Structure 1
Amino acid sequence: MLDIKKITTLSDLSELKTAYFAGSTAPLDGMWHFGFVPMSDHYGFYENDILVGYCVLNGEGYLLQFYLAPTASANIADLFTLIIENNNSVIGEVKGAFVSTAEPQYLSLCMDNTESFKVNAMMYRQNQESDASRHSGRIEGIKMTLATEEQIDKLVEFASSAIGAPKEWLTGYYSNLIARQELWGYWENDSVLATGECRKFDEHQTQFADLGMIVAQAERGKGLATRVLNFLIQHANSQGLQAMCSTESSNIGAQKAIARAGLSSKNRILQFDFD
């Protein structure tokens, strides 16, 4: 008999999360799995009071992770179908799922249950540590400086104006990056022209650095994005880390900048909508 219970202590899932990431064929997107997932609801699958799996559901009713240990007695396909057909009162309504093409089992479960999906984001990865050095000779250098707490108001205002993110969320997010020395700024006459993020992983995928950037609208199309990325890649490589990043499938400008910086995309994040 399998029971489903809501989990409030995420450390209970430590071993299962390790197995989940070990089963991926490529590094998973940092913002999705270490930004959005911890803020979402976690549900554990129990057999004889032993935790054998879990799933993650965000506030909009979309699954973000799904895992059942191979040692479990339950059939994973039957369990997945049960949950997405809203037949579990603990989890409630499931509208769809976000899944990477680097998560083969979870992806297969989604594809078995619906043909309706669209590409949400492109996932990029540095192929070899030498990529940055090969491209750096063709890209004009840029000098970025580590962000400080004294600059946070300007950085938040810049990011909010450039991408429309909520200021309250940005303040907390940037404060954490600043404390970890993972946020950089490119300034001109006391104005922010671009920001860059080089985020390290505290667990799982610790050999990678997850990059992010924002370029002022007035500066786009001038090659600044590629220069920012090149700086971040070199910074990651100097710490023995391989660079990775992602961008929306509709952001053609970012995709071109990422490709020019030497990163390639073999995986996608897909959005499934269940009927």
Structure 2
Amino acid sequence: MLEIKTINTLEEINELKRQYFEQTTAPLDGMWHFGFVPTSSHFGFYEDDTLIGYCCINADGYMLQFYLSPTADIQARELFTLIAEQNSLVVDSIQGAFVSTAEPHYLSLCLDNSTSFKVNALMYQQVAPYASESASGLDLTLANQDQLAEFVEFAVSNIGASAQWLSEYFSYLIKREELWGYWKEDQLMATGECRLFDEHQTEYADLGMIVAESERGQGIATRVLIRLVSIANERGLVPICSTESGNLGAQKAILRAGLKPLNRIIQMEFDHQ
């Protein structure tokens, strides 16, 4: 008999998470899977008190991961449809899902239950060593804790994110030596992130950047990314990154830095009729 129960600690599903990442065809987006997923609600699937799968739902009612062990008696499509059609008494109301094209099993289940979908973001990866005679990387400086307030104020002004969230996030990156800055005349003009994975995707580095609005369109984004690609390669890592489907400026910069858009993150809407 199948039971769905709330997962209280993520350590309970460590082995299932490992299996989940093993079946992906490309590295998954770091912010989605190591930033948003841990703060979402997790639900375990049990057969005769044995944990055989899980899913997670964010606060907006969108599924972010779904995994069922091949040893399970129940069919994945049957279980997924039960949840998607809101017939579970345990899983909260669900509107749809976010899924990447690098997660073929999960993607197939989402497609079976979707009424509409759209591309949310493009996922990039380095596939060959970068070589260009037209652009060089900027001289980035590793951030320190004394500069935290400056980095937070910069990001709030240029992307409008929550100051509290940014303070916690940047502090974490600074402690791990994964945040850099580019200054011009003592003014912070760009930030760069080279985030390392502690598990599952340890051969990759996830890149991120913010450029001051006043400096955009001058090639700074490309040069920040080129330097971040070099930092990743110097550590023997393959750089990846992603950007929103409508951010054409960032897409051009990423391509110029030598990364290719091999996969997509898709937003699915489910039918509740």
Bin the TM-score by the shorter chain. over 0.9
Name structure 2 gaps, 5 residues minimum: none
Q: Percent identity?
A: 61
Shift of 1:142: 1.1
Q: Structure 1, residues 86-143: CA drift from partner, whole Å, max 9, x if none? A: 1111112110000000100110011111240000000000002x2x2x13x3313311
Name structure 1 gaps, 5 residues minimum: none
Partners of 2:127 and 2:59 in 1: CA distance: 35
Partners of 1:88 and 1:61 in 2: CA distance: 14
Alignment of 1:106-255 (within 5 A): 106-128=106-128, 130=129, 132=130, 134-135=131-132, 137-255=133-251
TM-score, normalised via structure 2 length: 0.98
Partners of 2:190 and 2:3 in 1: CA distance: 49
Match of 2:188, as an amino acid?
A: V
Task: Kindly indicate whether residue 93 of structure 2 is the aligned counterpart of residue 97 of structure 1.
Answer: no
Shift of 1:63: 0.1
- Counterpart in 1 of 2:262? 266
Partners of 1:82 and 1:261 in 2: CA distance: 44
SS at match of 1:82: helix
Shift of 1:187: 0.8
SS at match of 1:177: helix
Task: Kindly indicate whether residue 45 of structure 2 is the aligned counterpart of residue 12 of structure 1.
Answer: no
Q: Return 183-192 or 166-175, whichever deviates more.
A: 183-192
TM-score, normalised via structure 1 length: 0.97
SS at match of 2:224: helix
Shift of 1:190: 2.2
Partners of 1:200 and 1:193 in 2: CA distance: 23
SS at match of 1:255: helix
Match of 2:3, as an amino acid?
A: D
Q: Return 88-97 or 243-252, whichever deviates more.
A: 88-97
- Counterpart in 2 of 1:84? 84
